[in-house]
Structure 1
Amino acid sequence: MSETENNKSSKKLPNAFLDAHHHFVDTTIYGDSFQAFLAHLIPDFQYLPSDYKRDVIDPIQKAGVAFHGSVHVECIPDDGIAEAQWITSFTKGNSAPYVKAIVASCNLAQDSDKVEEELSKISTQLPHVKGIRWILDCVGKFNGNDATHIATKRHDGIDYLRGSEGGYEGHVVSAFETGFGLLDKYNMTFDLQCAPVQLQEASKLCRRHPNVKVVIDHLGKPRTLFGANNDKNNSNASMNQGELAVWREGMKSMAQNSNVYVKISMLGYAIPGWISSQEYLNSMKQLVWETVTLFGPKRCMVATNFWKDAATSDADGMSDVGPDPVQFLELVYGFLKDDVSDEDLECIFSKTAASFYGVSI
């Protein structure tokens, strides 16, 4: 082994990191305005720039990793523009100069004139906003178990990617596709958060709109591959091959579109408690490696999804354990470092996100 190879194998963390996905929350002041929906779920809760700096930036920098900034992603606000204005106020002062880009909320399925009005206002008044997210998870009417994200309660039973209520065997809802197409006009990206069963139709949508850059949130959200688990000592080691197959075919289809990227984030949603056993770690390494192999390093980006604590950020309530930001970077870096070049590792941990969202580092 050469000295260069030996140095690489002994490294535990990337040289630099741009966090491609995190959230700020304040339901104490803003609960009656743009975070009213969220306030019903987590009343009197704050997660502000100083908290993120304490939990994410400071430990990462102390570990010797250069922090290149972050991307703030919408947190199911009632008013996407108001939330984006709130985040922008932090970027203009000393609270969060590290936020390099904002992904705002906009209901792309509403009347097209309304969509255009909102996108026009965002593009002219909020230069930090680089993209839009409208959470699309739908595997059935929301009941707390079937749907994969609380935000879909806003459009309960409607699958914008596979049609309305029923068998979900249709096509993209036309109103949503019209709004999605407007992102090209305003040079905005789209953060795609959906369930694995929706990826095939999402792929067709992306193929019809090749100029809209799309990033799949949270590894495509394969769900509880070893079963629902809030017990870090769960010894169930039998992976759900059916769920895995649906995710794999959907991700293969998405990867065929050169305008589609993916975030390596919220890994505990796929395998709750993944840091608690070697079996889970090995399975997670395979999921991450398979994703990077499908999309290539220049279309993969790493993100903490941090907003409350390590377990919530990692598993969205599916587990009571999760890696802290430094441990998360160390684990993902360890999954990849022996088989990925230094140049490609830089892409995965910082340069891909910077290029996708159009920010300098």
Structure 2
Amino acid sequence: MSNKLPKEFVDAHHHFICTSSNGSTFHKFMNKLIPNFSYVAKDYQRDVIVPLEKAGIKFGGSVHMECIPDNGILEVQWITSSFIEPPSSGSSVKCIIASCDLSQEISVVESELQTLSKIKYVKGVRWILDCVGKFDGGKTATHIATTRHDGIDYLRGSDGGYDGHAIPEFERGFALLEKYNFTFDLQCAPAQLLAASRLCARNPKVKVVIDHMGKPRSLLGADTEENRNNLTPNEAELIVWREGMKALAQNENVYVKISMLGYIIPGWIRTKERIALMRSLVRETVEMFGPEKCMIASNYWKDASMSDSDGMSDAGPDAVRLLELLYEFLNDYSDHDLDHIFSKTASKFYNL
């Protein structure tokens, strides 16, 4: 095995989706975005598991993350029956994070969580929260999922009246996660991180992991030819991101995923200078949270560039190159620390 690669990798975040044959699961929302699309276990095996194992990396399993289904329970049942329990599946999935709108009537949330808790692979939930206020013609959502509830900021208030207080209905549902020993995957915008920190502090027994390194957005602008040599990041965005991430890092129950780096710097792998800037941001994140609270994820659901940038660039590292770069960024850390960052933190957090 190359000394430029980790010994073992547990993928803390990836997606399977099929809009061609799972109408009851994806039809209303995702089928409109990507009709007749499929990315399932055999594709993930080809793109992630086989290349990593050929490179000498032990693949320790993966976490399937909800992929904006119409019905979170149906998605979990589909993943379980299709890709985990069949004897011939050979699935890597050891854990499922389910979709659940925690702001629903509390009896509905309780019922959904109770149903999910009876499925042994379910270890937590995610409800995507990205919302930054009015921009781009009046929208508020910075992720396609939050067009489902455009104008609502569950962490800071709704319809632009951002007072820093979580919407009570959402917090009641969030607090209920403790009862079922469920984790929460926190996906939000940097402007929401401080409010998220307060929510986590009020609910210290709910384990939370920040998705995609807190999602600072396009720090060097768009991945265009004329912008390619820009190496001056958006400092205003970084100030907001740092303040929120440092606050979240103070909570013992909060962890972070290093993933979807091309959203942070679209086209970050194009030049050695951009790679160096990404290195500094990854290292800053690890220093804030500590290695035992950091985990790495591929975010695979389509191809390298989409998994890396969420559609903001047509360049992205394949699975082996991603881990090689991240290992290079962090290879002055001890073997103990690297083992946690690449596998043990995810295993412990999700109780794999």
TM-score, normalised on structure 2? Answer: 0.96
Which residue number in structure 1 is paired with residue 122 of structure 2?
A: 129
Question: 2:71, 2:134 → 1: CA distance?
Answer: 23
Which residue number in structure 1 is paired with residue 306 of structure 2?
A: 312
Amino acid at match of 2:91: P
Asked whether the 8 Å contact 1:298–1:347 carries over to 2, the reply is yes
Which residue number in structure 1 is paired with residue 34 of structure 2?
A: 42
Give the C-alpha shift of residue 140 in structure 1: 2.6
The equivalent position to 2:149 in structure 1, one of 143, 151, 155, is 155
Give the C-alpha shift of residue 232 in structure 1: 9.5
Which residue number in structure 2 is paired with residue 4 of structure 1?
A: none
Which residue number in structure 2 is paired with residue 349 of structure 1?
A: 342
1:206 aligns with 2:193: no
Amino acid at match of 1:78: D
Which residue number in structure 2 is paired with residue 20 of structure 1?
A: 12
Q: How does 1:280-319 map to 2 (within 5 A)?
A: 280-319=274-313
Question: 2:185, 2:104 → 1: CA distance?
Answer: 18
Distance 1:155-1:146 versus aligned 2 partners, 3 A rule: closer
Residue by residue, what CA displacement relative to the aligned partner does 1:83-141 show, whole Å, maximum 9, x if unpaired?
Answer: 011111110013253100000000000000000000001101x1100010000000135
Residue by residue, what CA displacement relative to the aligned partner does 1:296-354 show, whole Å, maximum 9, x if unpaired?
Answer: 0110000000010000000001111000000000000000012x100110000000000
Give the C-alpha shift of residue 31 in structure 1: 3.2
1:31 aligns with 2:23: yes
Question: 2:107, 2:237 → 1: CA distance?
Answer: 39
Residue by residue, what CA displacement relative to the aligned partner does 1:270-296 show, whole Å, maximum 9, x if unpaired?
Answer: 000000011211110011000000100
Question: 1:151, 1:142 → 2: CA distance?
Answer: 16
Which residue number in structure 1 is paired with residue 85 of structure 2?
A: 92
Asked whether the 8 Å contact 1:212–1:259 carries over to 2, the reply is yes
Runs of 5+ in structure 1 lacking a partner? 1-6
Amino acid at match of 1:11: N
Comparing 164-173 and 80-89, the one that deviates more: 164-173
1:269 aligns with 2:263: yes
Question: 1:148, 1:266 → 2: CA distance?
Answer: 14
Q: How does 1:73-92 map to 2 (within 5 A)?
A: 73-89=65-81, 90-92=83-85
Amino acid at match of 2:223: N
Question: 1:159, 1:78 → 2: CA distance?
Answer: 20
Amino acid at match of 1:134: W
Question: 2:45, 2:135 → 1: CA distance?
Answer: 34
Asked whether the 8 Å contact 2:19–2:38 carries over to 1, the reply is yes
Give the C-alpha shift of residue 34 in structure 1: 3.6
Give the C-alpha shift of residue 146 in structure 1: 5.2
Distance 1:120-1:232 versus aligned 2 partners, 3 A rule: farther
Give the C-alpha shift of residue 142 in structure 1: 7.9
Comparing 148-157 and 162-171, the one that deviates more: 162-171
1:191 aligns with 2:209: no
Question: Match of 2:23, SS?
Answer: coil
Distance 1:186-1:231 versus aligned 2 partners, 3 A rule: farther
TM-score, normalised on structure 1? Answer: 0.94
Question: 1:277, 1:34 → 2: CA distance?
Answer: 38
Give the C-alpha shift of residue 167 in structure 1: 3.9
Question: Match of 1:72, SS?
Answer: strand
Give the C-alpha shift of residue 160 in structure 1: 0.2
Distance 1:286-1:110 versus aligned 2 partners, 3 A rule: same
Amino acid at match of 2:189: A
Question: 2:68, 2:238 → 1: CA distance?
Answer: 28
1:120 aligns with 2:114: yes
Give the C-alpha shift of residue 235 in structure 1: 1.7
Question: 2:154, 2:90 → 1: CA distance?
Answer: 34
Question: Match of 1:86, SS?
Answer: helix
1:321 aligns with 2:304: no
Amino acid at match of 2:19: T
Percent identity of the aligned residues? 62
C-alpha root-mean-square deviation of aligned residues, in Å? 1.6
Residue by residue, what CA displacement relative to the aligned partner does 1:186-235 show, whole Å, maximum 9, x if unpaired?
Answer: 00000000000000000000000000000000000010000122559722
Question: 1:260, 1:273 → 2: CA distance?
Answer: 29
Asked whether the 8 Å contact 2:95–2:121 carries over to 1, the reply is yes
Distance 1:142-1:128 versus aligned 2 partners, 3 A rule: farther
Give the C-alpha shift of residue 36 in structure 1: 2.8
Amino acid at match of 1:329: L
The aligned length equals 349
Question: 2:51, 2:230 → 1: CA distance?
Answer: 33
Question: 2:225, 2:315 → 1: CA distance?
Answer: 9
Asked whether the 8 Å contact 1:263–1:300 carries over to 2, the reply is yes
Asked whether the 8 Å contact 1:231–1:273 carries over to 2, the reply is no
Question: Match of 2:97, SS?
Answer: strand
Question: Match of 2:233, SS?
Answer: coil
